[in-house]
Amino acid sequence: MKLRTSPTSPYARKCVIVALETGLADRIEMVPTSPFGETDLPKDNPLGKVPALITDGGESLFDSPVICEYLDSLHDGQRLVPASGGARWAQLRLEALADGILDAAVAKRIETAMRPEDKRWPGWVERQDKAVVRSLDVLEEECSGWGADFLIGQIAVITALDYLDFRFKDEPWRTGRPRLSGWYAGFAQRSSVVQSAPRE
């Protein structure tokens, strides 16, 4: 298998963590890809985004929720995406919330760091900030119930929190969120998290 990835993409990182957690990393060739450069990426993902997974059979899968669930179907250990019932929907909801934090944070990053200054829209940035804050507050209320779980929802959460540290280190998300901060500290040194840390 081949995974088109980028060291700064939090969505690709989520797939890398799943690959490490499931013991599949050795079966996957990591293909560094810049979605903003001249690239052949659209042949594997017409959206022009990473991640994209090319299976052993040559099929291209995208994006991160699909890739993560596919990888989770290939191993014999504990499933990171529960197969059915309330546990499944709880994890998929948590993944969606964390991915939504990423969507807002990436939109803010593009607006403030990549768009020409005279074309930036402060109201758009404010909208993204509010979405992130509301979502973090929900995580603060819910994280005490996660226990020792490190399933797809928690993987998505730690990816989102690390992205906020990576791109917005001057806007600390930990303030006023002691439970979420404590949860993060307990999992930040997990091997898959350390190995996949974002970098320029």
Residue 36 is predicted with a pLDDT of 84
Please classify residue 139 by burial: count the beta carbons closer than 10 Å to its beta carbon, then call 0-12 exposed, 13-18 middle and 19+ buried.
buried
* Phi and psi torsions of 147, nearest 5°: 60, -135
- pTM for the whole thing? 0.96
Give the dihedral of Cα atoms 40, 41, 45, 50; nearest 10 deg: 180
DSSP H helical ranges for the chain: 10-21, 64-72, 85-109, 122-142, 152-167, 178-187, 191-195
What does pLDDT average to in each consecutive run of 10 residues of the chain (200 residues)? Answer: 96 98 98 87 95 98 98 97 97 98 97 90 96 98 97 98 97 97 97 94
- Please give the domain boundaries of the chain with CATH numbers for all domains: 2-72 (3.40.30.10), 85-190 (1.20.1050.10)
Question: At a CB cut-off of 8 Å and minimum separation 6, what does 178 contact?
Answer: none
